[in-house]
Amino acid sequence: MATIHSTAIVDPAAELADDVQVEAYAIIGPHVSIGRGGVIKSHSVVEGPTIIGTDCHIGPGAYVGLDGQHLQFLKKPLEERRQCWLIIGNNVLIRESASVHRATHPGRERATRIDDNCTLMGAAHVGHDSVLESHVILANAALLGGHCHIGQRAFLGGGCTLHQFNRVGRLAMVGGNQAVGQEVPPFAAMLWGGLKGYNAVGCRRAGISRAGIFSIRAAYQCIHTYRTKTAAMAAMRQIEPMTGEICEILEFYAKCKRGIQPSVQHLDRRIEEESSD
């Protein structure tokens, strides 16, 4: 039977695995399911419909599964809002004062989703309808607007902010305090407002082959050389051998809707051109 502190409030309609621990002053609403090994630390609030997998630790003082901060959505009847989901995978850590909001569209298939082995550090925020693939890390106070999509093993530094409907590719790294208004492709390292290069340490730790790393380096040389997305893609298609990593970058570019963060080299040139004028 779940261990529930005497000061905690757990709705009878919530489903808790036998070994779940609910600490002091935590509140768990109806239509919440928490898998085995779960710990809901003190003063945390979990609302539903929300599914939380196994071995997840939430809080203290975290807010999970609340309504999305979307003005039109909040005008809808409660019954309609209660058809919008949050799904959290296994071994997810959500630390103090972090917040994750449910989707604004009904149905599990359109849920806000946090996949396995993700970490949200203190005061991080995941907006409505966002998706975090597995092993994503959000450092302290990293903030995601609604409808963001973060690829596997991406790292977002402390205090960075993502515009809504934005994407960050697999194994990308975003530096602290960066304002991300456009998309960050796979394997990128973003700093000083643009793409500084590729995430060498992250790629190496992820076990990408030597040939794959060489091709990523060549692809980012194309990005630094050509200002437009079309020209950069054309240059990347000429790289030999055409590895899976280059195909992944090209596919990301092809699906881009908000534009790609520019190379810092292009930003430096623009500053020089403006100063010379």
Nearest Cα neighbor of 98 from 152, 58, 55 is 58
- Count of CB atoms situated within 10 Å of the CB of 269: 13
Q: What is the mean pLDDT of each run of 10 residues along the chain (277 residues)?
A: 96 97 98 98 98 98 97 92 97 98 97 98 98 98 98 98 98 98 98 96 95 96 94 96 97 96 81 50
Give me the domains of the chain, ranges plus CATH numbers.
3-150 (2.160.10.10)
pLDDT at 267: 84
Rounded Cα distance between 271 and 277, Å, is 10
Compute the chain's Rg from CA coordinates: 21
Region for 135 from its dihedrals, namely left if φ exceeds 0, alpha if ψ lies in -120 to 50, beta otherwise: left
Nearest Cα neighbor of 126 from 118, 117, 91, 34 is 118
User: Which of 35, 65, 127, 146 is an active site residue?
Assistant: 146
User: Which of 35, 38, 89, 129 is an active site residue?
Assistant: 129
Rounded Cα distance between 220 and 249, Å, is 10
User: Which of 125, 128, 135, 147 is an active site residue?
Assistant: 128
pTM: 0.94
Rounded Cα distance between 231 and 221, Å, is 12
146 catalytic residue (yes or no)? yes
